[in-house]
Structure 1
């Protein structure tokens, strides 16, 4: 399950991607449109800024806008930035591998083998699906359409 923070980050990125090219959006406008607590959104956008996904402008025409094209920002990238590894078991993490404490042998662990398939499919979908895909498919996106 993804965190509320990750969900809000994805929703904010979609709103920024929908904006006219070069147009910055105020935090208050994004927060109101998406029903996200403003203070929480400020923290999220600062995290996304530090990671190079968004930038901020000051002044009358200020606000936030995407720094990278929406076509290059994947759900997997955002989830890893906000929530960390995408793995149902610590022994399946690509970036934070940790052997399961109760495991005697990873090579013969039936549970690991099943969840490895789940993790591979999940990562494939998340790493293929971009913020731009949300704009193309909108609210009626079907998973089959996204993964081909």
Structure 2
């Protein structure tokens, strides 16, 4: 499951993807625009900076910006950097495998086999979707909604 940290991180990156190249945004501005607690956003942006997704600039005209083009940032990489493995349970994880204490047969466990499918489906979507695609999808939905009198697609 996506945590608030992962969700807020994606929202902050989508906000930054909407900026003109070279433009920065203040953390307080992102927090207000995206309804994210500022203190929590500070920590999230630090993690995103350490992972190479954002850069920060101090002083006048400072703020945060994407460190790479939005079409070079895969959502799976972002979620893994903030939330860890995508698998819903440890025995279905590729990167942090952990067998369940109560499992007698890992190879035939119906829960594990299903959760591997869930992990693969989540991974397929997140690893093939870029930040640019996510931002465009949101912009298109807003434009559609505005043209329909505010009703969603």
TM > 0.5 fold call: yes
Give the C-alpha shift of residue 135 in structure 1: 2.1
> What is the aligned partner in structure 2 of residue 99 from structure 1?
99
Structure 1, 106-115 or 37-46: larger mean CA deviation? 106-115
> What is the aligned partner in structure 1 of residue 49 from structure 2?
49
Segments of 4+ in structure 1 off by > 2 A?
none
Residue 18 in structure 1 maps to residue 13 in structure 2: no
**2:55/2:64 contact within 8 Å kept:** yes
What is the rounded CA distance, in whole Å, between the counterparts of 1:31 and 1:108 in structure 2? 46
> What is the aligned partner in structure 1 of residue 148 from structure 2?
none
> What is the aligned partner in structure 2 of residue 67 from structure 1?
67
Q: 2:107 is paired with a residue of what secondary structure?
A: helix
What's the TM-score, normalizing by structure 1? Answer: 0.89
What is the rounded CA distance, in whole Å, between the counterparts of 1:44 and 1:76 in structure 2? 16
Give the C-alpha shift of residue 6 in structure 1: 1.0
Give the C-alpha shift of residue 16 in structure 1: 0.5
What is the rounded CA distance, in whole Å, between the counterparts of 1:134 and 1:41 in structure 2? 20
**2:93/2:116 contact within 8 Å kept:** no
Give the C-alpha shift of residue 33 in structure 1: 0.6
What is the rounded CA distance, in whole Å, between the counterparts of 1:105 and 1:20 in structure 2? 54
Q: 1:36 is paired with a residue of what secondary structure?
A: coil
Alignment of 1:1-148 (within 5 A): 1-138=1-138, 140=141
Give the C-alpha shift of residue 12 in structure 1: 0.4
Gaps of 5+ in 1: 142-148
Counting matched residue pairs gives 141
Structure 1, 81-90 or 12-21: larger mean CA deviation? 81-90
